[in-house]
Chain A
Amino acid sequence: MNKLIRAEFYRLRHTGHLFWYAILLPMLFIFMPYILCMDQMDKPLDELIESLGTMCVLVYNFFPALIAGFAGQLFNKGKLGYYEVIAGNKPSHIIMSKIFSDGVFFSVIYTVCVSAFYVFLGIKNGVGTMTHPFIRLGLFAVVMTHLVVSSIMIMMASKKTVSAVVLTYIRFMVFDIAFMPALAFVFTKLGLEGVATHLGYMIVFNQLEMTALGSIDLTTILHIILGFIGEFILWYIVVYRGIKKKKFS
């Protein structure tokens, strides 16, 4: 697996993709929130994040998933998976090498980019009522890893770029904004409020909000970590089966 991780980092460095990430990511994580909340840039951090509201779903959910997923899409589109299989690598090694290279790369970059921006504003304007900043930062890193790893594996599971983008949209927009809340609503109507609450906390969008604004307790931490593990296992099975059946474009 180490050789595959090394190869992936080599490709990342030499294809010129880093240049595009260096342009795209600051635009996404710094300029977009700045433009969206330009008139509130002097407010304390908690108020500022609240004003960003549902735009979070695009800035911190869908777009980052799409960008990170690009690395996963190369797996099929560029026939990369095809050659990694031919080279005699095990499917589990192929999947985990992408997680430990592209996955780690993007989650670190996302976490650093976003936290640098908000740490700067926090120092400049104060944090307001926000507590446990370091725990929040750690949880934010987990949510970002969840997002990145899931999006990479979604793209690895899709044979075509269009279907990969559509699937990412469904997962990070439709599922988070409409499907899961609707499901939670149904559970509430059935008198299963507890299940509804847990389902709500499993949504990446909600988890992002929890790391920024909600109260930090053991339940929150468990929801964030278990949400990540659950989705990881789901997509791992899908991608593993695809590689085993040699489903490449």
Chain B
Amino acid sequence: MRLKSSLRKEYGMEYVMELEGLTKTFGKKTAVDNFSLKIEKGHICGLIGPNGAGKTTIMRMMAALTEPDSGEMKFFGSANLDEARSRMSFIIEEPYMEHSMTARENMQYLRFIRGVADESRIDMLLDFVGLKDVGKKKVGKFSLGMRQRLGIAMSLLAKPEFMVLDEPINGLDPEGIIDVRKMLLKLTEEEKITILISSHILKELSELCTDYAIVNHGKLIEKLSHEELLLKTKTFIGLRTNDIGRTCTVLEGSLGIRNYKVSPENEIMIYERLEDLERISSIVTQNNLTITKINVEGESLEDYYIGKVGDQNE
């Protein structure tokens, strides 16, 4: 389940990441232009933008792999970036792995580099990413999906509080994508990890993220929460039952829903409580109504993104 607004209440407005006016130029090209972004604790923020928008450069600057020309970065409220980075993990471009070593050996090697005392965490994480049974197979013989999973396991080794993932689901098959999504959701739920993730698979991000930052030409075009996205994309819950009249009474009486309308095709379109799909479904059913259709409908993140970036590029 997505975390969303409940998280805001739990953590308040504690920022894990604060980027202020980051700028980076390569020659005459400005890759990142006065970019500012904040991410609250426990949130999953999707960094969205076309190729060359500056997403990877932003992440590289966060990882200390590229020096910003100007701007400020704070992690966990601190400007001591070296100390803060030891509480973070990064998967930027291809994660570092020794291809002539096994998954376990790679984990062990990284455990030494990061100074992680607890060796049992290796098996726990290999199990978590579904690589416990690969045995002595060398990483060089792994599929791309297996390497991505190992990359995630390696990035979790030092119990990071904040993960920065650049295209972690690139090249994965549909099953792998779902697995990674489940893994990331589990991490935010169970270990309260904050995640900044970039991907071109927007449908996947919309299943995962609590916030979105749309980037183009190195600039932040818009930052919005998932709820804001739902409102902006005029998303609604489409509901059909065997008795529309009585359903409306239940919606108003039991759930207090007022913002809805009934289409000529006898479909109820609910414009509020979009997070409460399960509760609405359950209350309607409890009132002896038969649901023939219930789902969230409207403009997708992809449509919204294309509208935004398209406007910029025109």
Contacts and interface: CB of A to CB of B under 8 A. Distances in A.
Interface of A: 3-4, 6-7, 10-11, 14-16, 78-80, 82-90, 245-246, 248
Q: Please tell me the size bucket of the interface on B.
A: 20 to 34
25 contacts: A3-B113, A3-B114, A3-B115, A4-B112, A10-B109, A11-B109, A14-B101, A14-B105, A14-B109, A15-B98, A15-B100, A78-B96, A78-B98, A79-B96, A82-B65, A82-B96, A83-B113, A84-B113, A85-B64, A85-B65, A86-B64, A86-B85, A87-B85, A89-B113, A248-B65
A145 to B, nearest CB: 24
B66 interface: yes
Nearest to B164: A86
Contacts of B115: 3, 87
Contacts of B66: 246
Interface string B94-122: 10101011000100111011110000000
A10 B85 CA distance: 24
B101 A87 contact: no
A87 B112 contact: no
Interface in B44-78: 63-67
Main secondary structure, interface of A, reads helix
A86 B108 CA distance: 17
A95 B65 CA distance: 17
Contacts of B98: 11, 14-15, 78
A7 B85 contact: no
Contacts of A90: 82
Contact of A86 (B90, B100, B101, B105): B90
B86 A87 contact: yes
Contacts of A10: 105, 108-109, 112
B162 to A, nearest CB: 12
Contacts of B101: 11, 14-15
Contacts of B108: 10
B67 A88 contact: no
B158 interface: yes
Given A14-B105, A15-B100, A88-B85, A4 B65 contact: no
B113 A88 contact: no
Contacts of A88: 82-83, 85-86
B27 to A, nearest CB: 16
Contacts of B85: 86-88
Nearest to B111: A7
Contact of A87 (B65, B83, B100, B114): B114
Nearest to B82: A88
The 9 A-B pairs of least Cβ separation, nearest first, read A88-B86, A7-B112, A3-B115, A79-B96, A83-B96, A7-B113, A15-B100, A6-B112, A14-B105
Contacts of B64: 85-86, 246
A78 B139 CA distance: 14
Contacts of B63: 86
Contacts of B105: 10, 14
Contact of B112 (A3, A15, A78, A85): A3
Contact of A16 (B65, B89, B100, B109): B100
Contacts of B110: 7, 83
Contacts of A6: 112
A89 B113 CA distance: 9
Nearest to A245: B67
Given A86-B64, A88-B86, A80 B96 contact: yes
A83 B151 CA distance: 12
Most B C-beta atoms less than 10 A away, residue of A14, A78, A84, A90: A14
A5 B108 CA distance: 14
Nearest to B112: A7
A78 B65 CA distance: 15
Contact of A4 (B82, B100, B113, B158): B113
A87 B64 CA distance: 10
Contacts of B112: 3-4, 6-7, 10
A88 B84 CA distance: 8
A185 B94 CA distance: 51
